[in-house]
Amino acid sequence: MNIQPKKHYEILDGLRGVAAILVVAFHIFEAFGGGNRFIQIINHGYLAVDFFFLLSGFVVAYAYDDRWGNMTQWEFYKRRLIRLQPMVILGMIIGALFYYFQASDILFPQIAAMPVWKVILTMIIGFTLLPIPPSMEIRGWGEMHPLNGPAWSLFFEYIANILYALFFRKFSNKVLSVFVLIFAGLLINYTVFGPKGDVIGGWSLNIAQMNVGFTRLLYPFFAGVLLSRLGKLIHIKGAFWICSILITIVLALPRFGDENTLWMNGLYESFCIILVFPIIVAIGAGGQIKSQFSNKVCKLLGDISYPIYITHYPLIYWFTAWVVDNKVTINQGYGVGIGVLVASIVLAYLCLKLYDEPVRKWLQNKFQKIVN
C-alpha cells in the first residue's frame, strides 16, 4: 500500500535536540556538584527526560492513532524497534569500549578488577534493554544499565509503547483524560508530598526506583497522546526559538526551596511537567518554520538528538571520574567539559551517519511494511 507521508513536525525535532544538548551540559556540571542537587548548575536538566516522554506520546499518537485498521500490533512494535533499537545496541557497545577507561579509585573502584566476561555479559543483556538487578551491577551506582545509564528511560519508553498498543489506543478521549488526570495526581503526590521534592530517579531495578520511573513515565507520555488527539495547537511566530528559550529556562532555573521546603521544588516540577511542557509542545507543533536557516537548525538538532542522548554518558562517566579523582574545580575543568560536550555532539553525528541511518534504512526495507 502506497502512502503519502504525514506532515512532519520539524520544530518538535529541533526542540528534542535542544533538550538533548542541555542534558549533556547538565551531566557535565553534575560532575562538579559532589552529588548535591541543591547547588547543581542547569539544576533541572533531568526534566528533559520527562519532556522526551511527552514528545514521544505526542508523536506516537500522531503517527499511529489512525493506522490501526491496517496495522497489526507486531507491525507497530517492529516500527518502534527499528527506530530505537539500533542506537540502543551501539550505545551499549560504546559503553563497553569506554568502561575500563572510567576506572576510578574513588568513584568506580571495582572497574579495574572487573572480569572482561562480566562486561561482555552486561553489554549483551543491555542489547535487549532488560534491566540488570543490583546483584549483577558492574559499576557501583546501582544502575539497571551500568554501561550506559540513560538507557533506563528507553526501557520505560518501550513499556509506554506496549501499554499504548495494548490498551490506551483503544480508549476514548474521555477515558484517556481520566487516566491522564490520575497520572497527574500521582506525579503531584510524589513530587510535592514525597521524600525528595523532585523526580530524579528511575534507573535502578528496585521497588522505590521503579515507582519513580513509572511516575515519570505515565503522565507525560499519555498526556502527549491526549494532546495529539485533541489537536489544540498554539500558532505563534518564531515558535522554535521561543520554545527553545522556554525549555532552556525550565531546565536551567535553580532549585526552589531547601531541605526543609522540598515541596516548593516538587510543585515547580509538577507545574512544568503537567502544564509548561504540553504548552511548549503545542506551540512547537502549531508553529511554522519560515527561514531556511531555522529549518536546517531544526533538522540537524532533530537528527542528532537521540544519538546524543544515548551515546554521551560513557564520556560523562570518564569525565566525572577524572573530576572526582583529581579534585578538579569548575574553573579548572570547564575547558575539558566543553570538550566533552563537543565530543558528544561529534560522536552522535558520526553514529547517525555511519551507523544509525544506514542500519535503519536496511531494516525498513527488509522488515517494515508500508501502512496506510
Tell me the pLDDT tens digit for each residue of 157-207. 999 999 999 999 999 999 999 999 999 999 999 999 999 999 999 999 999
Domain tally, the chain: 1
Summarize the confidence of residues 341-366 as an average pLDDT. Answer: 97
pLDDT band at 307 (very low <50, low <70, confident <90, very high): very high
The parent domain of residue 356 ranges over 10-367
Tell me whether residue 2 is in a domain: no
Q: Contact at 8 Å (CB) between 217 and 52?
A: no
Which residue type is seen at 208?
Answer: A
- Predicted local distance difference test score (pLDDT) of residue 218: 98
Identify the pLDDT of residue 5: 58
| Least confidently predicted of 95-104, 128-137, 344-353, 361-370 | 361-370
The predicted structure's pLDDT at residue 371: 65
Please indicate, yes or no, if residue 4 is contained in any of the structural domains: no
Contact 117, 109 (CB under 8 A): no
Average pLDDT, integer, range 218-232: 97
Give the pLDDT confidence score for residue 1 in this predicted structure: 40
CA distance 156 to 349: 25
**How confident is residue 264, by pLDDT bands cut at 50, 70 and 90?**
very high
Q: Is residue 1 part of a domain?
A: no
Question: So what's the pLDDT on residue 100?
Answer: 98
Which pLDDT score is estimated for 372?
A: 57
Q: Residue 288 domain-assigned? A: yes
**Contact between residue 44 and residue 256 where contact means Cβ atoms under 8 Å apart:** no
**Model confidence over 339-350: pLDDT tens digits?**
999 999 999 999
pLDDT bin (cut points 50, 70, 90) of residue 222 is very high
Instruction: Determine, yes or no, domain membership for 219.
Output: yes
Q: How many CB atoms lie within 10 A of CB 133?
A: 11
Q: Is the pTM of this model over 0.85?
A: yes
Q: What pLDDT sits at residue 159?
A: 98
Q: Is the pLDDT of residue 2 over 60?
A: no
- Tell whether 372 is covered by a domain: no
Q: What is the C-alpha to C-alpha distance for residues 137 and 134, in angstroms, rounded to an integer?
A: 5
Examine residue 5 and state whether it is found in any structural domain, yes or no: no
Instruction: Say what percent of the chain tops pLDDT 70.
Output: 98
Give the cell for residue 180: 491522564
At 3 the pLDDT is 42
Contact 102, 111 (CB under 8 A): yes
Q: How high does pLDDT run on average in the chain? A: 96
pLDDT single digits (tens) 57-116:
999 999 999 999 999 999 999 999 999 999 999 999 999 999 999 999 999 999 999 999
Q: Label each residue of the chain as H, E or C.
A: CCCCCCCCCHHHHHHHHHHHHHHHHHHHHHCCCCCCCCCCCCCCCCHHHHHHHHHHHHHHHHHHCCCHHHCCHHHHHHHHHHHHHHHHHHHHHHHHHHHHHHCCCCCCCCCCCCCHHHHHHHHHHHHHCCCCCHHHCCCCCCCCCCCCCCHHHHHHHHHHHHHHHHCHHHCCHHHHHHHHHHHHHHHHHHHHHCCCCCCCCCCCCCHHHHHHHHHHHHHHHHHHHHHHHHCCCCCCCCHHHHHHHHHHHHHHCCCCCCCCCHHHHHHHHHHHHHHHHHHHHHHHHHCCCCCHHHHHHHHHHHHHHHHHHHHCHHHHHHHHHHHHHCCCCHHHHHHHHHHHHHHHHHHHHHHHHHHHHHHHHHHHHHHCCCCC
